[in-house]
Amino acid sequence: MRAIVVKPPKPGVEFRDLSQAIRHGSGTVKVRIIENGICGSDREIVRGELATARPPEGKDWLVLGHEALGVVEESKDPRFKPGDLVMPINRRSYHGKCLNCLVGRPDFCEANEFVEAGMVGMDGFMVEYFYDDPKYLVKVPPGIADIAILAQPLSDLEKSVEEILNIQRRFIWTCDDGTYNCRRAIVFGSGSTGILMSLLLRTLGFEVYVANRRDPLENEAKITEEAGITYINYSVEGLDRLKQMGFDLVVDTTGASASLIGHEVEMLKPNGVLGLFGFPSEGALTLSNEVIQRFIYKSNVIVGLINGQKPHFQQALAHLAQWKATWPGVVSRLITRVVDVNDEKEVVQVLNRKEKGEIKVKIKWGQ
Amino acid sequence: MRAIVVKPPKPGVEFRDLSQAIRHGSGTVKVRIIENGICGSDREIVRGELATARPPEGKDWLVLGHEALGVVEESKDPRFKPGDLVMPINRRSYHGKCLNCLVGRPDFCEANEFVEAGMVGMDGFMVEYFYDDPKYLVKVPPGIADIAILAQPLSDLEKSVEEILNIQRRFIWTCDDGTYNCRRAIVFGSGSTGILMSLLLRTLGFEVYVANRRDPLENEAKITEEAGITYINYSVEGLDRLKQMGFDLVVDTTGASASLIGHEVEMLKPNGVLGLFGFPSEGALTLSNEVIQRFIYKSNVIVGLINGQKPHFQQALAHLAQWKATWPGVVSRLITRVVDVNDEKEVVQVLNRKEKGEIKVKIKWGQ
Amino acid sequence: MRAIVVKPPKPGVEFRDLSQAIRHGSGTVKVRIIENGICGSDREIVRGELATARPPEGKDWLVLGHEALGVVEESKDPRFKPGDLVMPINRRSYHGKCLNCLVGRPDFCEANEFVEAGMVGMDGFMVEYFYDDPKYLVKVPPGIADIAILAQPLSDLEKSVEEILNIQRRFIWTCDDGTYNCRRAIVFGSGSTGILMSLLLRTLGFEVYVANRRDPLENEAKITEEAGITYINYSVEGLDRLKQMGFDLVVDTTGASASLIGHEVEMLKPNGVLGLFGFPSEGALTLSNEVIQRFIYKSNVIVGLINGQKPHFQQALAHLAQWKATWPGVVSRLITRVVDVNDEKEVVQVLNRKEKGEIKVKIKWGQ
Amino acid sequence: MRAIVVKPPKPGVEFRDLSQAIRHGSGTVKVRIIENGICGSDREIVRGELATARPPEGKDWLVLGHEALGVVEESKDPRFKPGDLVMPINRRSYHGKCLNCLVGRPDFCEANEFVEAGMVGMDGFMVEYFYDDPKYLVKVPPGIADIAILAQPLSDLEKSVEEILNIQRRFIWTCDDGTYNCRRAIVFGSGSTGILMSLLLRTLGFEVYVANRRDPLENEAKITEEAGITYINYSVEGLDRLKQMGFDLVVDTTGASASLIGHEVEMLKPNGVLGLFGFPSEGALTLSNEVIQRFIYKSNVIVGLINGQKPHFQQALAHLAQWKATWPGVVSRLITRVVDVNDEKEVVQVLNRKEKGEIKVKIKWGQ
């Protein structure tokens, strides 16, 4: 059984033939992998830069991969039949006894009692097949199999937006027509996360801006145009202009310098919220006492956003289906490259570096 | 300007050439009608049986129709451009000063300060064109133009389910995986409303049963099968069997005898809720003191469900797009007949009686 | 160790000397009883009329009593010290694995996995002393020791009102000044439950009516006057008059005939809610299809209300303290009789029948 | 009619005899002032340091005072009778058309359409009598007249805690007994605001710490001891120790240097929230990218907290009554000085500087 294996904290990645099948929880459903998605965290692990990465207990290696689409091959669970397309959930409670874990929400675990497939203490999904627990499998409609791999990264954003909207329930944040159509949002970062977050907020009715410090690539320009999103090159527009505009919702997906966050705080309108998604890799945030005074006066909120769970995977699949019917052009542009798993050299290459213009790269195993 | 006109409380329906354009609110957007949907209330008005129906102030007639898809022909509002597909909202606040009206939710108006297009005090949408207020127009994605007409009836159900889920937030009603997958729902009635409600609940993750007192028609059998919904002929299964099964959610869409509701109450599991959608046309509900004791002991709820607003139209369109990509067969079966508006005789016929197997009938004006 | 013992389903009650101490859960805190309250359910058990009453597993008898004030005598738990006044919680999860039990809310248990002190499968608190689990003990401020016994019955109502207000969060139910001051509530029944519910709703800002089918007793008249509550003799005013007035909230605490509930439904204003507290002992509820139509049209709700948990005991004690400072006269009238536990004959008498004008009767054990 | 008058932005304060009565809104209720409270903002205005302070339109002066207890002298409103004790609300919507203003919540005004009595564009309450609108008057129970003046500052904190608890509804934040008893909170600052916030959080069930950079004054030591609050001198304990302890809720009430806030962020446990109440007067907040990473990973929130409205005044009065019955010693220590309005020199003095150990100073007008 072939698998793509890493040995955190050491850098490197390799194909390996496993002698023993991977099995999670009850393991009553055998899943054959169709394809995996690659994201920035995979590359951080490969480069030996993700501090939290670690193998499962008792091993010094780990199967990589937390984005996967598979097909059921065998099942002892009546809810799953051979042939069903499925997607495994990546963060799972691990003997979690905190209340949020008990109700199926280890994204809000307070006791650090969870593992993360392909990252933290649990084998991932870049493997020919594995046995899984039905609790952590989500069914995928065949009609969207081509883009379903996006549901994992999108699930994190579904959870993030759900959390933001829950926070905003403390006052009336809907408009005088009951919708969010009067609310203005800006997403910083136009990578995979930034684009998906922009599409999601647009879907929910927001007026959406997506900002980066360069002009849009052709793909970005076409996606944002079709979806009615405004792309902003803030190295041209200037951050002051954005502070003057004011936004009800600012989401940072850059994972770049923390210093940008200080500017983002100043863009908030009264009752506005700043969501931080993606860990800043350097720098520091500085806010003067006057900026904090205005933050308080405006009842603003800053919230840290992480990890979607099963309901968010389901919601992500629903939104992908919706987008396929309403924004066919957008959807056709989100998968920017497909690599055959048998082309091992190329697989290792895409696991090592991000390409210019990349939104989502897939590794194809079969079907 | 041709229109289909009624004179409630008198029965009857006729085509008429209007000398003056219909104009609602600011009237800054001119909308040409592409098609109308027909629902049971239209037929009740035509038969003179809808007690609440009345013309706008100062007139003895009313344009019929509350389900419509149109195209923008002229617009003074920057948010709408000629060629945009739009759908008008039917219930509107009318000088509404209650707080729910002020925040765009006349579905929860407490002061009876609203009108309803084609029904109560406001001209409807069975007319060549009309001028409308952008506040009450929802954009329709071209990719789902063929089924978009369903968004109006579906909007009422989106609101109903939103209301039910809000009511159920008083305890933990999600399952141990954070979803609704462990919750069992039954919908009584397999007409247009019952089918759409079943599909919606399935979409949200419920295990769904739809019940009628006869075997399923072919169309119903195929729709429910593709969507993973179980059809029950309760005249065969028996209501007692359903009481033994127990349901977390029961929705009545029959509009038939109130006596059925008594049985539905007894089907509720602990923390379960019974939603009443559609007005029972006859009979009475009777509950013994023992049944009420169990209702209390189980923390059950009964709630009356009506009318969706702009956010629910938007959500309905999103779900229709999702269904088109995931359940193409289902979606192709929901429009059971299209009548040309120029075939006046046939139009009058479909406005007078429901066909066997009908889900949604459309009157086509143009395109 | 003396205790008051019953043998459901048999009628009767007796004093008994127990050879073995009563111990619940961890049993790390020894509690000496100061006093017990008596409520209608105690009398139903004594009369052999409470169908759900049963001894703990393996016994044919049960200590009676679910309302108690005690003092800590010994404690192995740092949160409790000898001399602390405490109140034990009566409904407890019993190996409960449903999510609501896991988060400390067995009032919403879906699996019937709970016991109830002095009633269902668990010894009660009419006993000299017992050993309890700190999880189920609430501290009582000494300043309100005289009325603290009311916190148990009040806790059920705190939970009920919390539940109702949660249900009403689905729309704007607060007034244009952010309060509930414009909302009109009526409570049917002026027994202990009805009076406490009326006081609680008044405290929360509602305009409150309390209704019974007779003139108020002197005590009731004085309590309602001081608290600004209007007493209504509905056999004089007539139920039709109340239907014309309309109420945003109707609470039934009568436990009398189910037929009254039908009238209460017709008293609801738009968005209004009917809370059923107390099991109707006879009769049936009948609603015509027209009444149900109006119920739906008005987005009304009927909800079954039961059992408060630890947060509600704490909230009840807070409200009793508030009432003591703001309504001293009211508070002085709520305990209508105190019986010495050594006067066994009188204890048995008060356990057998309710006195006219009774609000709360206490059995005094010591201090 | 005597009044205490200021002329922002100029420093200074003076007694003045007004020729014309002060009238707000409908002005149907005449209120004679019994006493005023003094808070830090009053002194900032007197010192000419509150940047937002301004007289009502068309005047160059302003009656000072936003904390007041009064008695109704005349009333054209049936809800208020001569002799009723009342408290006026200080922040009021001023032609506010934003949705939060329309529903009586100008604390969440998004359009800056409000005035603030004695501060921003509206005459305050340090005046013999004035005519007010019943919408902005709250009734005060006579039994707590001695401490009722605290309800204004407490109202801001009631709103703050309500907002925090609403934010925390996005996951399960209650403990396994349904309460907040397992949650640890720390309040920075032991002035009037810090003490009241600590008492409020204790009342709601939190384990509470209050922190300052000095040893407690005698008054503070006695108040915190009686209420079961732990006082921490963080210049001795060290901020690192507090970061190791970890807190579920941190509230900053210091209004001191923004640099403290950076430390407070690091004290948050997973799912913890930092509430900022009181504007930092100097310094800057700096957070390294690692601190922000942990903030995100822990799903933390920072929220700005301001201004209570009518429901919060009512809740504040309820809590004061509760405290009077449960913590009589605490309550007796909260008013640290009473000044007679006729002693003008002393009044001017207390309006100019805060005394050591001051919690609340009252100016007494009569009764």
pLDDT attached to residue C165: 98
Chain A contact set for C172 (CB, 8 A): 172
Q: Nearest CA of chain D to the CA of A213: how many Å?
A: 20
Determine the pLDDT at residue A367. 64
Distance CA D109, CA D92 (A): 10
For D14-29, what is each residue's pLDDT tens digit? 999 999 999 999 999 9
- Amino acid A366: pLDDT: 82
Nearest to D44 by CA among D129, D150, D120: D120
Q: Verify whether the Cβ–Cβ distance C283 to B289 is below 8 Å.
A: yes
pTM exceeds cut of 0.90: yes
Peptide bond into A280 cis (omega under 30): no
Averaged over successive runs of 10 residues, the pLDDT of chain D (367 residues) comes to 96 97 97 97 96 95 98 97 98 93 97 95 98 97 97 98 98 98 98 97 98 97 98 97 98 95 98 96 96 98 98 98 96 97 97 93 90
Single out the residue of C331, C336, C347 nearest to residue C217, CA to CA.
C336
Interface of A with D in 247-286 (CB under 8 A): 257-258, 261, 269-271, 276-286
Nearest-neighbour CA in chain A from B2: distance (Å): 30
Parallel, antiparallel, or unpaired for β A129-132 and C129-132? unpaired
Is C236's Cβ below 8 Å from some Cβ in A?
A: no
Contacting D residues, span 295-314, partner chain C, CB-CB under 8 Å: 309-311, 314
Band of pLDDT at residue A334, cut at 50, 70 and 90? very high
CA–CA distance from B200 to each of B185, B195, B274, B316 (Å)?
11, 9, 16, 9
User: For B9-36, what is the mean pLDDT?
Assistant: 97
Are residues A178 and B321, on separate chains, in Cβ contact within 8 Å?
no
Kindly list the residues from chain B whose CB atom is less than 8 angstroms away from the CB atom of residue C270.
Answer: 108-112
- The answer for residues whose C-beta is within 8 angstroms of residue B136's C-beta and 6 or more apart is A177, B24, B25, B88, B89, B92, B310
In the predicted model, is pLDDT for residue C191 greater than 90? yes
* B chain contacts of residue D103, beta-carbon cutoff 8 Å: 99, 102-103
Which residues 174-203 on chain D approach chain A with CB closer than 8 angstroms? 174-176
Pairing of strands D85-88, D67-75: antiparallel
Nearest chain C residue to B161, by CA? C170
Closest residue of D to B178, CA-based? D171
pLDDT tens digit string along B149-183?
999 999 999 999 999 999 999 999 999 999 999 99
The C residues from 100 to 129 touching B (CB cutoff 8 Å) are 100, 103, 105, 107-112
Q: How are strands ordered across the β-sheet holding B14-17?
A: B14-17, B2-6, B62-63
Chain A adjacent subunits, 3+ CB pairs under 8 A = B, C, D
Which DSSP state fits C355? Answer: P
pLDDT tens string C62-79: 999 999 999 999 999 999
Helix (H) or strand (E) holding A283: none
Chain B residues with CB under 8 Å of A322 CB are: 318-319, 321-322, 325
Closest Cα in chain A, distance from residue B206 (Å)? 12
Chain D: residue nearest A295 by CA? D304
Supply A243's token pair.
């502070």
Residue C34's Cβ-side half-sphere holds a number of Cα atoms within 13 Å equal to 19
pLDDT over 90 (residue A272)? yes
Neighbours of C (≥3 Cβ pairs closer than 8 A)? A, B, D
Name the one residue in this structure whose structure tokens are 């210049």: D235
Question: What is the tens place of the pLDDT at every residue in B96-139?
Answer: 899 999 999 999 999 999 999 999 999 999 999 999 999 999 99
Indicate if the alpha-carbon torsion angle C253, C254, C257, C262 is positive or negative. Answer: negative
> Which residues in chain D touch residue B103, judged by CB atoms under 8 angstroms apart?
99, 102-103
Mark yes or no for CB contact D292/A305 under 8 Å: no
Instruction: Tell me what pLDDT residue C367 has.
Output: 64
B172, B310, B322 member nearest A177 (Cβ): B310
Nearest-by-CA chain A residue for D174: A99
CB-based contact, A245 to chain D, within 8 Å: no
Please state, in angstroms and as integers, the Cα–Cα distance from residue D335 to each residue in C331, D70, D79, D187, D351, following that order. Answer: 27, 17, 30, 20, 16
pLDDT in the model for residue C366: 82
Q: Is A78 on the interface with B (CB under 8 A)?
A: no
Residue given tokens 């629902």 in the structure block? B39
d(Cα C106, Cα C93) in Å, to the nearest integer? 5
Helix axes D151-167, D310-326, angle to 10 degrees: 110
pLDDT at position D179, please?
98
Place of tokens 């149900």: C292
* B194 to chain C, closest Cα gap in Å: 17
Contact assignment for B289 to C299 by CB distance below 8 Å = no
Q: Least CB-CB distance to C258: which of B162, B282, B292? A: B292
The candidate with the shortest Cα–Cα distance to D261, out of D299, D220, D231, D305, is: D305
Q: Determine how many CB atoms are found less than 10 A away from the CB of residue C175.
A: 18
Is C205 in contact with D179 (Cβ distance < 8 A)? no
Contact (CB, 8 A) for C153 and C193: yes
Question: Which of D169, D174, D288, D299 to mutate to probe the A interface, most A CBs <10 Å?
Answer: D299
- DSSP string for B43-87: HHHHTT--TT-BPPTT-S-EE--SEEEEEEEEESSTT--TT-EEE
- Please give the pLDDT value at position B270: 98
Whether D166 sits inside 8 A of A163 (CB atoms) is no
Residue owning tokens 């609300």: D89
CA B313, CA B311: separation in Å to the nearest integer? Answer: 6
Query: Which residues are within 8 A (CB) of D303 and not within 5 positions of it... i.e. 6 or more apart?
Result: A299, A300, A301, A302, D163, D164, D167, D273, D274, D275, D276
Query: pLDDT for A155-194, tens place per residue?
Result: 999 999 999 999 999 999 999 999 999 999 999 999 999 9
> Over 90: is that where the pLDDT of B367 sits?
no
Neighbour tally for B15: CB within 10 Å: 14
Nearest to A166 among D109, D169, D281 (CB): D169
Give the C-alpha separation, B274 to B156, whole Å.
16
Residue B298 has pLDDT above 70, yes or no: yes
CB atoms within 10 A of CB B17: 9
Residue C322: predicted pLDDT: 97
**In this predicted structure, what is the pLDDT of residue B280?**
95
Test the B interface: residue of C160, C276, C299, C309 with most B CBs within 10 Å: C299
Contact C311 D178 (CB under 8 A): yes
Beta bridge partners of A249: A185, A273
Q: How far is C229 from chain D (nearest CA, A)?
A: 14
Chains near D with 3+ CB pairs less than 8 A apart are A, B, C
Report the residue of B50, B157, B169, B171 to disrupt the C interface, i.e. the one with the largest count of C CBs within 10 Å.
Answer: B171
Residue B366, pLDDT score: 82
Q: Which of A161, A299, A306, A309 to mutate to test the interface with D (most CBs of D within 10 A)?
A: A299
Interface B–D counts its CB contacts (< 8 A) at 9
Please count the other Cβ atoms lying within 10 Å of the Cβ belonging to residue C1. 14
Query: Are β-strands C184-188 and C137-139 bridged in parallel, bridged antiparallel, or unpaired?
Result: unpaired
What DSSP state is assigned to residue D9?
Answer: T
Do D306 and A292 make contact, defined as CB atoms within 8 angstroms?
no
Distance from CA of B97 to the nearest CA of C (A): 11
Cα distances from B70 to residues B86, B150, B314, B348, C85, in angstroms, run 5, 13, 15, 21, 70
Residue A169 to residue D172, Cβ atoms within 8 A: no
pLDDT at A73: 98
Contact B187, B201 (CB under 8 A): yes
Interface A-C: count of C-beta contacts within 8 A:
9
- Going by pLDDT thresholds of 50, 70 and 90, the confidence category of residue A278 is confident
Q: Which residue of A has its CA nearest to B171?
A: A103
For chain A, the average pLDDT equals 97
Other beta carbons within 10 angstroms of residue C344's beta carbon come to 14
Interchain contact C336–D (C-beta under 8 A): no
What pLDDT was estimated at residue C278? 87
| Sheet of strand D121-122, all strands in order from the earlier edge strand to the far edge | D91-93, D114-117, D121-122
Q: What is the C-alpha to C-alpha distance for residues A201 and A161, in angstroms, rounded to an integer?
A: 8
